[in-house]
Structure 1
Amino acid sequence: MKKIAHRGAKGHTSENTIAAFGMAIDMGSDGIELDVHLSSDGELIVFHDETTDRLTGQSGHIESFDSKAIAALNVDGLHPIPTLREALDFIGTNCFINIELKTEKTVVPVIELLTDLVSNGADYNQYLVSCFDWSALQYIHDKMPQIPLGVLTETDLDLAIGFAKTIKATAIHPYFHLLTRENVTNMQQLGFKVYTWTVNEFEDLERMKSFGVDGIITDFPDRL
């Protein structure tokens, strides 16, 4: 079972920062999940929220800032906001990288970046692109089926399974409260990895492990 650090080691330091990714690697994570938005001038930015308010103290929509303005912001007053290329370069081959697309605007730039990295020696299988917007995943499947895909869902598991079949997804990423031992086994028998999120409490972690999931996305990779 893979331990996947949610936004890096989010439970210990500022989320989606190089510091969080470094800590996740040091904790022996098998994977790192991170989020991407697009800046106003087309740079892929590793950031979760639609607005900068919660994390930077600066008010505004992340997509309304250009890359220079974003570079001047700090998460929790301490850590710069990385670009996706900076994050991928830093993580390297230490673990696989789950890129969650936060908006449809990121789809084409992410395809272009991954294609560029692979042309320079990386492997598509080092990456896993996930999204709650399934139309974004459908687009990637149609244009670049080599990119592994993960279907995110927090509501309807049956719909997610059906869609995952359609796009030949690598994984299904269900909210952990949706899971039972039986439906985990069913998804695996259909050929999908089951990477569940976001599991932090020891009791829930043990329950997910007992269900035999393939990976757990957690703020505390050191708890696995």
Structure 2
Amino acid sequence: MTIRGIAHRGYPVNYPENTLSSFQAAIDLGFSHMELDVHMSKDGIPVVMHDHTIDRMTNGTGEIRQYTLEELKQFTIHSEEKIPTLEEVLAIAKDRIIVSIELKKPKLYPGIEQKIYDIIRKFEMEDQVYVISFNHDSLLKLRAISDEIQLGPLVNKVRPSHFRLIKKMNARYFAVNCKAIKEKHIKKCESMGVQLVVWTVNTIEQMKSFKAYPSILITTDELERYKALSLG
């Protein structure tokens, strides 16, 4: 059975976040969606990591953009895993799970929008991938590149201007901090035919409150807790 929910950075409670093992665990648990974060190496390869530096997750230090992919692959995560490329992640996700790509700090990476789109198109996953970002100008660049790519503004607070932006970029998704959601926002997204995504929902109480609104797509770190509630 497929669990309708978004596995945040894979399954970070039990595996190192944003790694192939973490994403594989989300797939194996039967989640419908997973979320990942993308930066770009010095030689222009999109790689998957939350931070723009490698300090927190690897045995190295410095910014991702300071290293080529070959150099990044020399570092390890939890002593055994490597920083994955976006291509490596999409290869295991194809035809198995919908992928949410968060574009992180795109101003640091000129041309990353085209690179992301080219990889999605290479894997023929336009219907299986959507891109979110706090940088809405970057999403508009993606829309200029492709009419087909699925997009979603990412916000901490909901403003009326966001719904105008959604129409402008023809976005299919709207990703909102769970603390900022009100019932009027849920109804507005439903009336617009936009998929409302909330993040990050980890307690049983939060999960139950949002599951009262079946249209919402819930993002969680606690995959097995969420699965147990969904199947209960």
Give the TM-score normalised by structure 2: 0.90
Distance 1:4 1:40 in 2: 30
| 1:85-164 matched pairs, under 5 angstroms | 85-104=87-106, 105=109, 106-118=112-124, 123-164=125-166
Distance 2:60 2:157 in 1: 33
Moved beyond 3 Å, runs of 4+: none
Code of the aligned partner of 1:13: Y
Show the counterpart of 1:208.
210
| 1:166-177 matched pairs, under 5 angstroms | 166-177=168-179
Distance 1:159 1:12 in 2: 38
- Cα drift, residue 181 of structure 1: 2.4
Distance 1:182 1:161 in 2: 12
Which has the bigger relative contact order, CA under 8 A and spacing at least 6? 1
Contact 1:150 1:173 in 2 (8 A): yes
Secondary structure in 1 matching 2:212: helix
Show the counterpart of 1:192.
194
Show the counterpart of 1:7.
9
Distance 1:167 1:34 in 2: 22
Distance 2:190 2:139 in 1: 20
Secondary structure in 1 matching 2:123: helix
Show the counterpart of 1:37.
39
Code of the aligned partner of 1:191: G
Distance 1:210 1:180 in 2: 13
1:53 aligned onto 2:55: yes
Is there any run of 5+ residues in structure 1 with no aligned partner, and where? Answer: none
1:211 and 1:179, CA in 2 relative to 1: closer, same or farther beyond 3 A?
Answer: farther
1:20 aligned onto 2:22: yes
- Cα drift, residue 220 of structure 1: 1.6
1:78 aligned onto 2:80: yes
Is there any run of 5+ residues in structure 2 with no aligned partner, and where? Answer: 227-232
- Cα drift, residue 213 of structure 1: 4.0
- Cα drift, residue 175 of structure 1: 0.3
Show the counterpart of 2:222.
220
Contact 1:195 1:215 in 2 (8 A): yes
Distance 2:15 2:160 in 1: 35
- Number of equivalent positions: 220
